[in-house]
Each structure stands twice: as C-alpha cells, then as structure tokens.
Amino acid sequence: MTFLRPIRTTFFQRGTRHLSMVGKEALNGYSFISLWIIGLIVFQIIPLFAVFYFSLTNYDVFSAPKWIGFGNYQNIFTDDPLFWQSLGNTIYIVLLSVPLRMIISLGIAILLNQRIRGIGVYRTIFYLPMMVPLAATAVLWGWMLQSRLGIVNYFLEGIGIPGINWLVSDVWSKPAIILVTLWRIGEPIVLFLAGLQNVPGELYEASEVDGAGWRHKLFRITLPLLTPTIFMLLVLEIIQLFQSFVWAFAMTKGGPLNSSLLYVLYIFRRAFDNFRMGYASALAVILFLIVLVFTVVLFRWSRYWVHTEVD
C-alpha cells in the first residue's frame, strides 16, 4: 500500500490548503464588517440588555440603581393613567396614519410609474420632503397650522371653511399630527415604485387583449404582485409610527390636555424631566414587546395574503 502514500499526502495537502484559503477569506470578511459588529454590540445589544436591567430597578441617574423587581411594571399598569392615555394616542395615530400613508403613497407611485416626459422631475418633487430634517419639518408645520396666522387656515378660510384650532384643541391635535405624517411619504412612494417596476409588463398586455379595464388590472395583477412590498412597508410603517416623537415634541409638546402625548414622548418625560430612568426603561420594554407582538402577528397573517412566486 506504499503506492497510496503520495496520493494521501497530496490529498491532505490540498485539503489543508483549501481550509487555509477558506479561513483567510472568512478572516478578511470579518475584518471588513468588524466595525459594524462592534457598533452592533456597543450601541444596540448592550443598551438593550441594560434597558431590561434598569427596568427592574429604581434609578434616578444621581444614585446607584436599587433593585425593585417588577415594581415599575406594577405601577405602570395599576397606577399610571398617562401610560394608558399615551398608548391610546399612539395607537390612534398608527391605526389612522398607516392606512392613509399606504393608500396615498401607492396611488402616487402608480401615477409616477407612467411613461411620460419629465417623469423624473415629478418623482424628485415628491421625494423632496424627505430631504428636509424631521425636526425642521415639524417646526415648519407647527407654524403653518397656527390658528390665526397659519397658512393652512388661511387657505381654508379662502374657500369658505372656518379655521381650525389644529394645535390648541384636544379634538384636532391628533388629526394635525396625522396630517403632517402624510407630508413625508417619499420613502414608501419610492418602494412602491420599485415594486411596480418589477411587475411583468406582459401581464398587463395579456389582460388588455382580454379586454380588462384598469380596475381589473389593479386588483387582479398590480395589488397581488405588490403584496410583498405592501407587507414590508406595513411592518416598517407600524414600527416607525409607534416610535413617533418629534411631531408631538416640536408641535404640541404633548398637549393640550395630553391629547397628543405620544408614547415615546411620555418615555422622554419620565426619563429626562422626572429623572425616573428605571420607570422609563420599563416603559421602553413594554413598547418593545408591543411592537414585537404586532410584528409577529403580521408575519403570521402574511401567509394568507402575501403573494409568493413558486419556481
């Protein structure tokens, strides 16, 4: 069997050389993403575990945390009416703003998907609001929605509609925030536009040969093939709007009568106005669990309506 030794030696040398090449490639790959891994650990994973820990303590920044177990959670659910009010305000915004943003952005994306001269200019115009910083947009809309000097009421009165107390009425404060969220829909428009351009044109041509109208093409071709994009945007929009903060902070300060007190703004107040970091951490954990439940339900529900291509 001595004649097999050169073969075995060559085989093991090649295997060792292959493993060393794979190891070098893996090392190079990890070196390229090392900064991202460090950032993930330092700025996301460690703070996440820290929030869970502080939520079980009484911590005011100025003294060491004191372990109280689930005391913060007990106070939140049994003796904190602002928790329920802020959560209700946020759910109100989410349930109304998400469908409106999705429908309006989809309609605009369908219009921007047409092959007409200068379509690139129109697409740029609709995306321009996304280029303005969020805080600047909120302050600008706060001026525009003023009761007496606001330009929105000026136009409403110009067409015979009495001016609305957008930011000083507990009835209109949340609709005002929803109105402002509709201004920044450039991102969902772009994503819907990308989804529309992936729909095969042959399907529209075949449906036109069969005499299908725009309604049939919309509900039988466009929407079914856009369901993956709709699902992705639905998840992202719900997560984003549950974390809404700037609108209420810059426009209404949570008023009047806490009618626009959003959940994240309430966390901010508990943390940086009252210095109850442990209590604020417990509120943040509850928000995390709420968003997680919404996300899991959406993923479970998606199997019944999201179109998947089968090769």
- 104-119 pLDDT, tens digit each: 999 999 999 888 888 8
Q: Is 160 left (phi over 0), alpha (psi -120 to 50) or beta?
A: left
Q: Give CA–CA dist 291/75, Å, rounded.
A: 21
More confidently predicted of 309 and 181: 181
pLDDT average, residue stretch 79-93: 95
Q: Write out pLDDT tens, residues 116-125.
A: 888 889 899 9
DSSP-based three-state secondary structure for 57: strand
Q: Rounded to two decimals, what is the model's pTM?
A: 0.85
Task: Dump pLDDT digits (tens) for 15-64.
Answer: 455 556 667 777 888 888 888 899 999 988 999 999 999 999 999 888 89
For residue 3, pLDDT beyond 60: no
What local confidence, expressed as pLDDT, does residue 6 receive? Answer: 52
How far apart are the C-alpha atoms of 112 and 114, rounded to whole Å? 5
Mean pLDDT across 197-203:
84
Q: What domains can be seen in the chain, in order of their start residue? A: 2-71 (no CATH), 81-302 (1.10.3720.10)
Percent of the chain with pLDDT over 90: 55
